[in-house]
Chain A
């Protein structure tokens, strides 16, 4: 299977600071990556679609100025939580889309980043 890494795995920060999370596809190129947020005992909520070389597409209700996404290469997307507040505390998960011979595409997930804002 394909490997997706995410860094950091855990971060604790003070309210008002910004936090950057990196998502890398290690053994394949990913034109498209996704960023999700997951609250305890809930499903994954898609925040945005990250496309290499273009602006991210945000889901309804997600503030693009709050959650900055950059997809500068085919193997790296970053999510920056700007001016973090306690309500931003959550588990953030990225995934990378791998195309397979143009027949289908399959998502592979990073291990997640647990953000705690004090």
Chain B
């Protein structure tokens, strides 16, 4: 099956700093999503981005499908951005996704 690697595994930032999270995948995909899991366990959809670039406020994402990676950018980080960021990909029409191991982000005040 498809392999998903996220980096870095852990990231500690001061409030206001910018960061880039990476997701590499081993095969072509037709579906890629970024999620933020908050401290209570809820997964929040950030982006559906199998290709191209999207922006939503302080967050943006870029997927280069031909090179099999996606990047999540967080600018001017806030303490509420803390949590685990997951990348999930799929290469079937059934919608079943493979999750990476996540990046744990800690933003310090």
Q: Which B residues lie within 8 Å of A83 (CB)? A: none
Contact of A104 with B41 at beta-carbon distance under 8 Å, contacts A43-B101, A44-B86, A49-B96 already known: no
Complex: chain A residue closest to B6, CB-CB:
A43
- Interface-side segment among B17-25, B43-51, B61-69, B70-78: B43-51
CB-based contact B42/A44 at 8 Å: no
Q: Are B43 and A93 in contact (CB under 8 A)?
A: yes
User: Which segment of A11-19, A21-29, A65-73, A107-115 sits at the interface?
Assistant: A107-115
Q: Using Cβ atoms and an 8 Å threshold, which residues of chain A touch B100?
A: 43
**Does A77 sit within 8 A of B, measured CB to CB?**
no
* In the complex, A106 has a CB within 8 A of chain B: yes
Contact A104 B43 (CB under 8 A): no
Segment 83-97 of A: residues with Cβ below 8 Å from B: 91, 93, 95, 97
A-B contact count (CB 8 A): 50
Report the nearest B residue to A100, measured CB to CB: B48
Chain A interface, number of residues (Cβ within 8 angstroms): 22
Chain B: residues with Cβ within 8 Å of the partner, total of 22
Instruction: Please report the C-alpha to C-alpha distance between residue A32 and residue B90 in the assembled complex, in whole angstroms.
Output: 15
Question: B42 to A109, Cβ gap below 8 A?
Answer: yes
A14 to chain B, nearest CB (A): 24
Chain A CB within 10 A, most for which of B44, B95, B101: B95
Q: Is the CB of A107 within 8 A of B88?
A: yes
Complex Cα–Cα for A66 and B102 (A): 28
Contact with B along A52-64 (1 / 0, CB 8 A): 0000000000000
Q: Could you tell me the distance between the alpha carbons of A94 and B50 in the complex, rounded to whole angstroms?
A: 22
- CA separation between A97 and B93, bound complex, in Å? 11
Q: Which residues of B contact A44 (CB under 8 A)?
A: 86, 99
Other 7 A-B pairs with CB < 8 A, given A93-B43, A97-B95, A104-B50: A34-B95, A43-B100, A43-B102, A104-B48, A107-B33, A107-B88, A109-B43
